Structure 1
Amino acid sequence: MSDLPTRLFRFLNRTSLVAQILVGLIAGIVLALLAPGAAKSVSLLGDLFVAALKAAAPILVFTLVAASLANHQRGQPTHIRPILGLYVLGTLSAAVTAVVASFIFPTSLTLVASATDVAPPSGVAQVLKTLLFNVVDNPVHALLEGNFIGILAWAVALGIAFRSAGEGTRTLVADVSAGVTQIVKLIIRCAPLGIFGLVANTLATSGFGVLLGYAQLLAVLVGSMLFVALVLNPLIVYWQIRRNPYPLVFTCLRESGLTAFFTRSSAANIPVNLQLCQRLGLHKDTYSVSIPLGATINMAGAAITISVLTLAAVNTLNISVDLLSAILLSILAAVCACGASGVAGGSLLLIPLACSLFGIPNDVAMQVVAVGFIIGVVQDSVETALNSSTDVLFTAASCIAHGDTVEAD
């Protein structure tokens, strides 16, 4: 009997984390169907898991980026600039995909009363201003609030400053980073229990009945995101690596997208992505910066949400859209998506900004935002899965293109 914990520990170590997560997913679905009351009571497991990831992510990003830059040896390759290009290309392409899908499958909305009292930004200038102020945020405040733009700025600044520090100082920074990484690995091992709690509570509390009225809207949203994940992104990756991209694509979707789907937080999924990059054998100096940066600006899913819901509002109000307006919407959606992490409410509260392009009043636009909150249980999950898995995908693609060895299974 005393050997049972040891045997269980060995069994869990031998079993794939993805397989354990799938078991937790199935168990959560079964519990929600058979005992909804009990399913709601296990929500604590999911809440604790997401809270732990969110608590660890800012510290991990700060220490990892600072340590990576402080101990970077001159002459070692990093591929941040090409990855940034892929982030921009992917987000803009996703916006164009959403616009085309909305023209092919026009959708109308049943507008409802606004579900939020949060004011949207008044223009692109305000979004950019928010991002700039996030850069110069107090580092302690940035860590407390999960402001990853500010965290990145301070981590980069300190990392560069520490490059001229003594060997002992740089070793200390690296040791702190390694210690935080070990803590995060322990948190990630709890993912099966966290997913179990999240799935059981979500299905027992919300169900999917409320979503039936918005089936076509969801189909356009999810269909566009799946097209980007399974067609557009593989094409971009193939352009980079010149070989079959799907093993890498499916690895990123399975090991990053699956967790992000249930946590619904790009910030919470940063530790998962960093660990996946390590398993893929990517260059640490590259992914320690590109992954947290991607979580703030690589927002293909957000660009799709902004475009589809905006054009649904346009179609509902019978507003004609010409080619130039569609192009402008794609560019605006891509820019807004990159700034989504700097605005409370994420991509949904940037919809009024895009609606203003077509002269839609703010009170009507906020009703569209309310629709977004109603379908958010699916929309936000798929959007986050696409955003987060693409961070690893583009980072890996750039590393392969520049000669790094990656093994996707």
Structure 2
Amino acid sequence: MSETNSAMTLGKRSLMGLVLGLAAGGALYFVPECWLRDDFLINTVFKIVGNGYLNLLKMTIAPFVFASLVMGISSATDVRQVGRIGIKILAIYFVTTTIATTFGILGGLILKPGAGLSLGTFELSGQYEAVESSFADVMLGFIPTNIVASFAEGDMIHIVIFAVFVGVAMSLLGTQAEAVKRFNEDFANVMLKIVNMVISTTPFGVFALMATTVANLGFGIIYTLAKYCVCEIFLFFLFGFCVCGGIFTLLARENFFRFLTQFIRKVAMIPFSTSSSNATIPYSIQFCRSIGVSNKVASFTIPLGATVNMDGTAIMQGMTAVFVAQLYGIDMTWVQILTIVIAATMGSIGSPGMPGVVMATLVVVLSSVGFPLEVIGLIVSIDKFPDMFKTVLNVMGDSVCTTIVAKSEGEFDREVFYGRKAAQ
């Protein structure tokens, strides 16, 4: 409860930082160019605070993502203890997350949330330039040859892939890797604490970045950010009704609207108010049992889903990458799109289901294609509102996948689902 309360306090402080940044930037926008405005405030004070915040995020992201992903995969891939249930739930979680990432990218390309405003031009580094590459070259480029160099250069797609191999290997070794697993879990907890410390400075970073942006660009950025929020929330609803509803109807072969009404009535307000998938775990397990899923399935798949199945997060990361490309006039290539799909999908897996942490994993996605990270501060400032809807979709996706797997395993009671008898 304390984590939730502190996260909500952080959200209010970030909103205050946003408002104050808008006010300060708006005031500076009408001030004629002078040493105090440009050299001292914008290019010194605000630059140190805003870019310092972004540098702290960059500092934490490689070790944080590696440790978190290894911890999630090493637990999630231990399917021997759950047999077919584990294999099925991991497969469906991975597929739905990949679909969600692609959905977010396509949504961004169609809705164009970043169109109409330019944050200037951005030259991609040589390794991310739009070059003609064969499919084989692209796929080989995802495989690291020197992981130490990948860590040093911050090549996130290599780090993510290496973390997957380490996590799977630890799971297959079982007790032989117990000491390494305990060390990694402790290290992941330390990194999570550091990330939380960095995130606690968000209000100051938001203030400086927003003030700088408005002072340089005027109030057009406000309209663009509002459009970004509306597009993001629209995609959440569309994915929930069309994709989640479609796979539930197709694979579970039950009434999705009955499932949806029960979910909204019994669970939805918990993730909406807390913005935390982890805080919703006991409520989600209870909900799944109340609609006929056995406790054996729900007690395994729901906690697992809170770690590795983040449909809303994947949509947000995919759309945000397109949003950034549109703001900076970057023409995305199919190589970049494929890289974003992989990075966003894997970045969502192992990401703790806690408020605010998604901003750290967003660095993975943007870094994977060499996109500028400065816009993250702006997204942080307005993420609190769409984050509530995003968490609801994350949690609903877990329950949908859990019901599908339970039905396939004969661990689902239709009589309970349709209210003809009480849950056990």
TM over 0.5: yes
Match of 1:178 in 2: 185
Q: What is the TM-score normalised by the length of structure 1?
A: 0.57
TM-fit CA distance, 1:114: 3.5
Match of 2:125 in 1: 118
Native 8 Å contact 1:39 1:201 kept in 2: yes
Instruction: Output one character per residue of 1:93-125: Cα deviation in whole Å (capped at 9) or x when no partner.
Output: 4455455546xx996678x97432535543574
Instruction: Report whether the alignment pairs 1:19 with 2:8.
Output: yes
Q: CA distance change for structure 1 residues 288 and 26 in 2, over 3 Å: closer, same or farther? A: closer
Aligned residues: 338
CA distance in 2, matches of 1:129, 1:248: 46
Q: CA distance change for structure 1 residues 166 and 21 in 2, over 3 Å: closer, same or farther? A: closer
CA distance in 2, matches of 1:70, 1:94: 30
TM-fit CA distance, 1:303: 7.0
Bigger Cα displacement from structure 2, 174-183 vs 47-56: 47-56
Native 8 Å contact 1:49 1:190 kept in 2: no
Native 8 Å contact 1:25 1:192 kept in 2: no
Gaps of 5+ in 2: 26-40, 249-255, 286-299, 347-362, 413-424
Match of 1:77 in 2: 85
Native 8 Å contact 1:121 1:349 kept in 2: no
Q: CA distance change for structure 1 residues 301 and 181 in 2, over 3 Å: closer, same or farther? A: same
Q: CA distance change for structure 1 residues 231 and 50 in 2, over 3 Å: closer, same or farther? A: same
CA distance in 2, matches of 1:106, 1:42: 25
Q: CA distance change for structure 1 residues 195 and 55 in 2, over 3 Å: closer, same or farther? A: same
TM-fit CA distance, 1:33: 6.6
Which aligned pairs between 1:220-299 and structure 2 lie closer than 5 A?
221-239=228-246, 240=248, 242-244=259-261, 283=301, 299=317
CA distance in 1, matches of 2:104, 2:314: 16
AA of the residue aligned to 2:93? I
Match of 1:402 in 2: 405
Native 8 Å contact 1:32 1:203 kept in 2: yes
Instruction: Report whether the alignment pairs 1:60 with 2:68.
Output: yes
CA distance in 2, matches of 1:395, 1:253: 15
AA of the residue aligned to 1:229? F
Native 8 Å contact 1:295 1:388 kept in 2: yes
Which aligned pairs between 1:137-152 and structure 2 lie closer than 5 A?
137-152=145-160
2:207 aligned to which of 200, 206, 215: 200
Match of 2:17 in 1: 28
CA distance in 1, matches of 2:66, 2:146: 14
1:187 aligned to which of 194, 203, 210: 194
Root-mean-square deviation (Å):
5.6
AA of the residue aligned to 2:6? L
Native 8 Å contact 1:297 1:337 kept in 2: no
Instruction: Report whether the alignment pairs 1:87 with 2:105.
Output: no
TM-fit CA distance, 1:81: 1.9
CA distance in 2, matches of 1:18, 1:153: 30
CA distance in 1, matches of 2:114, 2:136: 31
TM-fit CA distance, 1:26: 3.9
CA distance in 1, matches of 2:160, 2:239: 29
AA of the residue aligned to 1:402? V
Native 8 Å contact 1:296 1:339 kept in 2: no
Q: What is the TM-score normalised by the length of structure 2?
A: 0.55
TM-fit CA distance, 1:19: 1.6
CA distance in 2, matches of 1:125, 1:177: 37
TM-fit CA distance, 1:227: 1.3
TM-fit CA distance, 1:301: 0.7
TM-fit CA distance, 1:162: 4.4
AA of the residue aligned to 1:81? A
TM-fit CA distance, 1:221: 4.9
Instruction: Output one character per residue of 1:287-315: Cα deviation in whole Å (capped at 9) or x when no partner.
Output: 65556x998998531575389789x999x
Gaps of 5+ in 1: 1-11, 257-271, 315-328, 352-368
CA distance in 1, matches of 2:244, 2:81: 28
Native 8 Å contact 2:54 2:377 kept in 1: no
TM-fit CA distance, 1:201: 2.0
Q: CA distance change for structure 1 residues 304 and 397 in 2, over 3 Å: closer, same or farther? A: farther
AA of the residue aligned to 1:178? E
